[in-house]
Structure 1
Amino acid sequence: MKRSDAGSMLSVAAIWGASYLFIRVGAPEFGAAAMGGVRAVAAAGLLLPLLLWRGQLGALRKHWRGIGFVGVTNAALPFLLFNFAALTIPAGLSSILSATTPLFAALIGAIWLGERLTLTRMAGLSLGFGGVVLLVAGKLHFLPQHDMLRTVLASLACLAATLLYGISGNFSKRYLAEAPPLAVATGSQMVAAVLLIGPALALWPAEPPSAKAWGAVLALAALCTTFAYVLFFGLIARLGASKAMSALFLIPAFGVLWGCLFLGETFSLQMGLSCLVILAGCALTTGLVEPSRWTVPFLTRRA
């Protein structure tokens, strides 16, 4: 791998890790719906000129049905869910929970697309979800019942968002393989903007958001959605999807780091161990680490 590609992967991970920091800063002032709407509108406004410049508007028209589904499952709903979670749990915890995306993607791929489910991948799934239980249980310890319920709901919101990412990824793999990634990214943000603009206006905060909150949501749209997508798509073109996806494994580390540095969040030994367990599970599930190639026959079928 070239140094420039390694630097791009590190940049993508650092930027996407920072997204939870920006969400944590902006969500309390905007609210989940308003922040999601502003993010989607701003990202669509930034991506559309790039799409037109690349001459890919025709691809958007051709694949608009599939792109519309991705806009719901990969943008609109996850935006709302992560924003809701940020009202309760720290940015570092959200970023660690988001690391379950490869687990859900692999599980859905096995059930829906008939991808092989080896013993190694099964062990990875079990290990990864065990890490989630360890992480959430550690956060619930000693919490009052009211805070415990809010933490559980926020954690479930993060997991629901990563489940949607897994659905969207497998859907794109099956139905949007021929669509240019930039067209999918732009179209999905446009769909999310259309879906979220109404709720955003209806639930706009009575107290005007501060300049800090506006800066966070605009940075989220410009840096974490637009710029990072361009970098990521370039990696996919040069390295392939599987290698480019390995950048996801670094996101929790950056998410925790930014939360500790800029928000004063605490990082416990329990969080560190849970993060390692989840990432180990993801590595086994995605084949990054493959100690065996045994296959469970009754869980293997052709697509």
Structure 2
Amino acid sequence: MKLQDWITLVVLAAIWGGSFLFTRIAVPELGAVALAGCRVIGAALFLLPLLAWQRQLNGLRTYAGRLLLVGLTNSALPFACYGLAALVLTGGVLSVVNATAPLWTMVIAWLWLGERPGRGPVLGLALGVCGVAWLVADQAHLPTGQAGVSTGLGLLACLCAPLLYGFSANLSRRHMNGVPAMVQATGSQLAAGLWLLGPTCWMWPTHALTPTAWGATAALAIVCTGVAYVLFFRLINRIGASRAVTVTFLIPVFAMAWGSWWLHETITPTMLMACGVILLGTGLVTGALRWPLR
């Protein structure tokens, strides 16, 4: 990897780590569903001109049916889940659980596509599950969060999001082969916006939003989703998907740092140790680490 690729990788991790910060800032005012709706609609409006510039708008019509399903499972539902979880959990915890997405991708590929994993990935899955259980046990004592969201509901929503990512990844592998990357990125956000447009209008807050909430929402949509997608697919084109996915390991570092710096979130030793176990498991599953470790 060249220096430019490393810089892009770190910047992308910082941006995606910031998504949990902006979610924590905006969701108390907008609510989980409305925030998710604003995020995907804003991202779609940002990406559509880029897709038009590349003269790939016809791809949206060609793959419309598949994009609707991918948009639901890869954006609409996970973003709403993380918004709900952010009412009670810190951004650091959200980002650590988010890092388990490759684990669930492997499990679903095993159960659905019949891709039997080797010993290393199986060990990685076991470590990841143990890390998640450890983290959940550490967070279970938290009091009820904002909007009356219980800790149990927040943890359940947080766990559902990476599971949905895992399902969507396998769905894309099976049914989205040959779909241009920007068509998939733009189409999934546009489709997610269609799914969430009605619920967003229905659940829109009755009070006026503060400039802080609007700013966090705009950053979440344009920077953490639109710009991040462009950087991620550019990185895949330059260094390949297997290397680009290592951004997963850096996201919790930035998410914890941003949360601690801006929102004074507490980073506990248990969080750090559970994060280490989960990332070790993710490394074994993705192939970034090999078993036996060397």
Establish whether TM, by shorter chain, passes 0.5: yes
Out of 228-237 and 61-70, give the one that drifted further. 61-70
The one-letter code matched in structure 2 to 1:253 is V
| In 1: Cα distance, 2:63 partner to 2:199 partner | 26
SS at match of 1:204: coil
Other-structure match for 1:296: none
8 Å Cα contact 1:91-1:255 kept in structure 2? yes
CA distance in structure 2 between the aligned counterparts of 1:96 and 1:205, rounded to whole angstroms: 30
User: Paired residue for 1:247?
Assistant: 247
1:209 and 1:149 mapped to 2: Cα distance? Answer: 21
User: So what's the TM-score if we normalise by structure 2?
Assistant: 0.95
- 2:117 is paired with a residue whose SS is coil
TM-fit CA distance, 1:290: 1.3
SS at match of 1:226: helix
Shift of 1:228: 0.8
Partner of 1:267: 267
- Give CA-to-partner distance per residue, 1:192-212, whole Å, 9 cap, x none: 111111111111112111000
Contact 1:43/1:189 (<8 A) preserved: yes
Which residue identity lines up with residue 229 of structure 1 in the other structure? Y
**Following the alignment from structure 2 to structure 1, what is the Cα–Cα distance between the partners of residues 120 and 39?**
39
- Corresponding position of 2:69: 69
Q: Distance in 2 between matches of 1:171 and 1:41?
A: 22
After superposition, residues 203-282 of structure 1 pair within 5 angstroms as: 203-282=203-282
| Aligned positions of 1:134-173 closer than 5 A | 134-141=134-141, 143=142, 150-173=150-173
Answer whether contact 1:136 1:152 (CA < 8 A) is retained.
no
Per-residue deviation at 1:160? 0.5
- Preserved CA contact (<8 Å) 1:94 1:155: no
CA shift for structure 1 position 149: 8.1
What is the alpha-carbon distance in structure 2 between the residues aligned to residue 65 and residue 260 of structure 1? 41
Q: CA RMSD in A?
A: 1.6
Percent identity over paired residues: 46
Alignment map for 1:280-291 (pairs within 5 Å) = 280-291=280-291
Q: Match for residue 104 of structure 2?
A: 104
Q: In structure 2, give the amino acid aligned to 1:259.
A: G
Give the superposition deviation at 1:56: 0.9
The Cα of 1:57 is off from its aligned counterpart by: 1.2
Identify the residue that residue 114 of structure 2 maps to in structure 1: 114
Query: Do 2:87 and 2:149's aligned partners in 1 also have CA atoms closer than 8 Å?
Result: no
Q: What does the per-residue CA deviation read over 1:19-49, in whole Å, with 9 as the maximum and x for residues that have no partner?
A: 0000000000001111111112111111111
| Residue identity matched to 1:90 | T
Describe the superposition over 1:236-282 as per-residue Cα deviations: whole angstroms up to 9, x where unpaired.
11111111111111111111111001110010100000000000010
Q: CA shift at 1:292, angstroms?
A: 4.5
Q: Residue 140 of structure 1: CA displacement?
A: 2.1
The 8 Å contact of residues 102 and 285 in structure 1, kept in 2 or not, is answered as: yes
Structure-2 separation of matches of 1:258 and 1:69: 32
Give per-residue Cα distances to partners, 1:43-96, cap 9 Å, x unaligned: 111111110101111222222221111100001111111111111111111111
- Greater shift, 170-179 or 208-217, is seen at 170-179
SS at match of 1:289: coil
Give the Å deviation of 1:116.
Answer: 3.0
Structure 1 runs of 4+ with >4 Å offset:
146-149
Distance 1:197 1:62 in 2: 22
Residue identity in the other structure for 2:13:
A
Q: Distance in 2 between matches of 1:149 and 1:130?
A: 25
Gaps of 5+ in 2: none
Matched with 2:45 is 45
Whichever residue aligns with residue 38 of structure 2, its letter is: V
Aligned to 1:89: 89
Q: Secondary structure at the match of 1:133?
A: helix
**1:72 counterpart letter in structure 2:** L
